[in-house]
Amino acid sequence: MSAGIPLLTPLARRLESVMFGAYERQYRLFAQAVLVVAIGLTAAWGLAALGVVPVSPAVTAALASAASVAVTAFVIVGLLQFLVLANVLEQTNEDVATKAAELEDAAEELEQTAEELETTVDSVEDAASTVDEAAEEVEETAEAVEETADEVEQTAEEVEQSADEVEETADEVEQSADEVEQSADEVEQSADEVEQSADTVEQTAAQTGDDDAAETVTEAKDKTTEAKDKTSEAKDKTTEVKDKASEAKDKTTEVKDKTTEVKDKTTEVKDKTSEVKTKTSDVKDKTSEAKQTAESATENVEAAKETASEVEETASEVEETTAEQRDRLTDTDETEE
C-alpha cells in the first residue's frame, strides 16, 4: 500500500502473515465458511421473503438480519483480501523495482567492464602483434647467425688446412736445413783437408825456394779460410732457419688448437641458434593462439555489451511498469479513502 494509509499497512501485513503463513489452511476454511453461510442465509431469507417457505414475520426479519450480517462479513473478508493482495502487489512491485535498479546498475557495470575488457583485449592483441614481429626478427637474426656460423666453420676448416700445409712446409724446411747443415759440415771438413794440404805444399815450397808456389798456397789458404767462415755463417743461418721453422710449427699447432676451439664454439652457437629458432617458433605459435583468443574475447565482449544493453532496456521497462502500477494503487487507495 501507499504511505498515505499508515493504519492499514500494518493490518495488511498481519493479515498477510495469516493468509500466507502457518494458518493459511485455516484461513481458507474460514473464508469458505463465511461464503457458504452468506449464501445460505441469503437464500433462506429470499425463500422466506417470497413466501416459498411459510414462516412468521419475526423469523423472516431474523433471517434478513442474519443474511445482512453474513453478506457484510463476506464483503469485509473480500475487502481485507483485496487489501492484502494490494499490499503484496506493492511489495512485489517495490522488490521488482529494486531488483530492476540493481540489474540496471549491474548492466552498466557489465558494459563498463566489457569496454575495459575490450581495451585490454586490444592491448593484448597489439602486444601479441609486437611479439610476433619481434619473433620474426629474432628468427631472421638466428638464421643470419647460423649462416655466419657456417661461414666461420668453413673458414676455420680452411685455416686448419692451411695450418697443416704450413706445418708440412716447416717440416720440409727443417729437413732441408738439416741437409744444408750436413753439407756445410762436409764443406768445412773438406776446407780443413785443403788447408792441411796447403800447409804441406807451403812447407815444400819454402824448402825448394819456390816463392810463386808459396804465394799461391797462401792465397789458397786465405780462400779456404774465407770458405770456412762462409760455411760457418751458413751453418748459423741454417740453425736460425731451423729455429724459425720450429717456431712456425709451434705457432701452427697453436693456430690449429684455436681453430678447433673456434669450430667447437661455432658448433655450440649453431646448436643454440637452432634452439632459439625452435623457441621462437613456439613463441609465434603461442602468439597466434593469443591473437585468436583475443579475437574470441572481442566477440564475447561485443555479445556481453549487447546483452548489457538489452538488460538495461528491460530494467527500464520494468521500472516504468512498476511506476504505473504504483500510480494505479495510489489512485485505488485514494478512492477507498
Q: What is the mean pLDDT of the chain?
A: 75
- Give the pLDDT of residue 26: 78
What band does 23 get if pLDDT is binned at 50, 70 and 90? low
Quickly count helices (H) and strands (E) in the chain.
4, 0
**Exposure of 114 by Cβ count < 10 A (0-12 exposed, 13-18 middle, 19+ buried)?**
buried
What confidence tens digit (pLDDT) does each residue in 180-230 have?
Answer: 777 777 777 777 777 777 777 767 767 776 666 667 767 777 777 877 788
Listed ranges 21-30, 33-42, 107-116, 200-209; the one with the highest mean pLDDT: 33-42
Task: Give 319's DSSP letter.
Answer: H
Task: Give 20's DSSP letter.
Answer: S
Phi, psi angle pair for 54, to nearest 5°:
-75, 115
Reply yes or no on whether the pLDDT at 67 is more than 80.
yes
Distance from CA of residue 93 to its chain's centroid?
49
- Give the pLDDT of residue 20: 65
Rounded to whole angstroms, what are the CA distances from 21 to 13, 28, 87, 168, 314? 11, 12, 15, 115, 33
- Give the pLDDT of residue 148: 81
Rounded to whole angstroms, what are the CA distances from 103 to 95, 96, 204, 313, 321? 12, 10, 144, 10, 15
Q: Report the C-alpha gap between 73 and 227 in whole angstroms.
A: 164
